Amino acid sequence: MTENNMPRRGFLQLLAMGFAWALITPINALAAIWHKNAFEAAKLEEVTNYLNVDVEIVSQDIIIKAPDQAENGAIVQVEVISNIADTASMAILVENNPTPLIAHFTFSHGAQPYIVTRIKMAETSDIKVLVKAGEQYFSNTKSVIVLENGCG
């Protein structure tokens, strides 16, 4: 009986290793587009450098919905809509946070560039949204007054 189980065990082990490899490969591909240095940067200018943003065009086609005042900076709901054609990615930044880059989203072809999320804000600051469309970068900001510190 043990002789018959050995080939099956070997096959199952090989199958499990192949399955694990198939799961890890897409994770490695996603890690390649993750901007580690940008997320760790302490200044807004550093973030834009790491994201390779040379010139930003201010655009009212980026709609940022956030409260004018946030009672608690630990939970600030932000809704972002890009009406810019061919939006490929959107980044949310908060200048006065210890690490300004809060989130970076990439959109596949045909995906609606719409985000609703909750962010932390250390203090009163502008929320800045960067949109990449084609080879151009667009931006818009919304000021939020934080009444109680959210990053501590």
DSSP 89-135: EEEEEETTSSS-EEEEEE--TT---EEEEEE--SSSEEEEEEEEETT
Q: What are phi and psi of 151, to 5 degrees?
A: -115, 100
Rounded-to-integer distance, Cα 69 and Cα 111, Å:
31
Q: Which tens digits make up the pLDDT trace of 4-37?
A: 555 766 666 766 766 665 555 554 444 445 678 8
Assign residue 118 a region (left: φ > 0; alpha: ψ between -120 and 50; beta: otherwise). beta
Query: For residue 132, how many C-alpha atoms fall within 13 Å in the half-sphere facing its CB?
Result: 17
Q: Which tens digits make up the pLDDT trace of 40-98?
A: 999 999 999 999 999 999 999 999 999 999 999 999 999 999 999 999 999 999 999 99
**pLDDT score of 36:** 85
**pLDDT score of 22:** 59
Contact 142, 108 (CB under 8 A): no
Assign residue 145 a region (left: φ > 0; alpha: ψ between -120 and 50; beta: otherwise). beta
Interior/surface letters 137-146, b for 16+ CB within 10 angstroms, e for the rest: bbbbebebeb
